[in-house]
Amino acid sequence: MNEARGLRADAQRNYEQLLAVARVVIEEQGTQASLRDIARRAGVGLGTLYRHFPTRDALLEALLRQGFDRLAASAESLLASAAPKAALLAWVDELSRGTTVYHGLPASLLATLHDEASPLHLSCTAMRAAGERLLRRAQDAGDVRPDLDGVDLFELVAAVGWAAEQSPRSAERRERLLALITDGLAS
Amino acid sequence: MNEARGLRADAQRNYEQLLAVARVVIEEQGTQASLRDIARRAGVGLGTLYRHFPTRDALLEALLRQGFDRLAASAESLLASAAPKAALLAWVDELSRGTTVYHGLPASLLATLHDEASPLHLSCTAMRAAGERLLRRAQDAGDVRPDLDGVDLFELVAAVGWAAEQSPRSAERRERLLALITDGLAS
DNA sequence: ACCTGAACACCGTTCAAGT
DNA sequence: ACCTGAACACCGTTCAAGT
């Protein structure tokens, strides 16, 4: 909540209002929501949105960072508990559910992963590294094929999330496809 | 090539020119290419494009139908040859490679599969049915998990194609992810 | 019959003018 | 220091006017 420190009072208010409205609009319309619409509904000029968030990615970043960090923390805590395979599967399921929060999120996830210049790249790779530790533990226990790495896992989870988005029965398809994948990665 | 029968000579020429140009532009820019750009480069008014192809889907349909039908025929011929598992894998690989022709094609494939009103729906489900026959043969031989169906397979192949599109090393990632999937579907 | 392109309602992005 | 909204260059889509 300190992200807006040092701003003039009106700027601070605008920043927070934009973020709150963006969350709602992007929930409704997906990551491709109209920026004009967000500014309009926030009661703010379009230039003000651009001043606070110079790119669409910067806006998404502000919305997503918390979730990324939460997933990384979750991986850490799972590392200290439960059977290796069960812990990995629980985390993968959490990650997969996380990709359903906004339409278009699986695409943002992979974009962030591949783009080192993205403001979210660090947060994203930290999460991936945390997941990779869970993965290695399961591999060492002989539960998961040993050649799988964190990028494979991320891309597969994102792919499943994306495919589910395209279906009229998203939730159902996501569970089905994820189960097919995770079953198949067992060794 | 009979699709344009019964048109006035100039209309016939425009139709063919639009299709040829659309193929090039969509190869360059993906399925979301600017329709204005296509019309412009075809030397034709924008209204003429809309007259021949009332929706973007109609244009894509004309570009894709041939490939769909070829894949269906390929499935038929593989059904009469080779080991069940090898035949299925060969077809899946062909399908997967097919999704790389245009950027955005995996999305169009799933849209077509799920939208019964799409002009390509029939062609798409015919292809899926042909693939499903290959799948069942491999399942009867005990080579593939028995609960998998054609929709699962389509969605997984499209998902892999999409994830590969998001990567800077598309070809490499497509092969890797497809191998992970197909390995995992063995029984 | 068919073609054309202006017109309309939207975008994202920039920036001069205001406070 | 920050905000505003007009301006610009694009979209997709429609349709009156032409041939």
Min Cα–Cα distance to chain A from B80, Å: 28
Identify the pLDDT of residue B1.
42
- What residues of chain A score a pLDDT lower than 50? 1-2, 4
CB-closest option in A114, A152, A156 to B166:
A114
Global pTM?
Answer: 0.95
Q: Which bases of chain D are contacted by protein, using any atom under 7 A from a CB?
A: 1-7, 10-16
- What does the block give as tokens for B80? 């009469």
Identify the pLDDT of residue A1.
42
Cβ contacts of B140 within 8 Å, gap of 6 or more: B84
Under DSSP, the state recorded for B55 is S
CA distance A116 to B58: 38
CB-closest option in A148, A177, A183 to B159:
A177
Interface membership of B35 toward A (CB under 8 Å): no
Phi and psi torsions of A146, nearest 5°: -75, -15
Under DSSP, the state recorded for B144 is B
CA distance A101 to B107: 20
The structure tokens 């339409």 sit at A103
Cβ contacts of B119 within 8 Å, gap of 6 or more: B57, B58, B61
CA distance B112 to A47: 39
Interface membership of A166 toward B (CB under 8 Å): yes
CB-closest option in A114, A155, A181 to B168:
A114
CA distance B157 to A159: 10
Give the burial class of A178: count Cβ atoms within 10 A of its Cβ; 0-12 exposed, 13-18 middle, 19 or more buried: buried
pLDDT (tens digit, 0 to 9) for every residue of chain B, 187 residues total? 445 468 899 999 999 999 999 999 999 999 999 999 999 999 999 999 999 999 999 999 999 999 999 999 999 999 998 799 999 999 999 999 999 999 999 999 999 999 998 889 999 999 999 999 999 999 999 999 999 999 999 999 999 999 999 999 999 999 999 999 999 999 8
C1'-nearest nucleotide to the CA of B52: C2
Identify the pLDDT of residue B5.
66
Min Cα–Cα distance to chain B from A172, Å: 12
Question: Which residue on chain A is closest to B172 by alpha carbon?
Answer: A152
Chain B residues whose beta carbon lies within 8 Å of the beta carbon of residue A145 = 183
Angle at A150 between CA A182 and CA A77, to 5 degrees: 80
Interface membership of B179 toward A (CB under 8 Å): no
Q: Do residue A177 and residue B155 have CB atoms under 8 angstroms apart?
A: yes
Angle at A181 between CA A169 and CA B168, to 5 degrees: 95
Interface membership of A184 toward B (CB under 8 Å): yes
The dihedral sign for the CA sequence B12, B18, B19, B20:
positive
- What does the block give as tokens for B183? 């390995």
Give the burial class of B28: count Cβ atoms within 10 A of its Cβ; 0-12 exposed, 13-18 middle, 19 or more buried: exposed
Residues 105-164 of A with CB under 8 A from B: 107, 110-111, 114, 145, 148, 152, 155-156, 158-160, 162-163
Interface membership of A86 toward B (CB under 8 Å): no
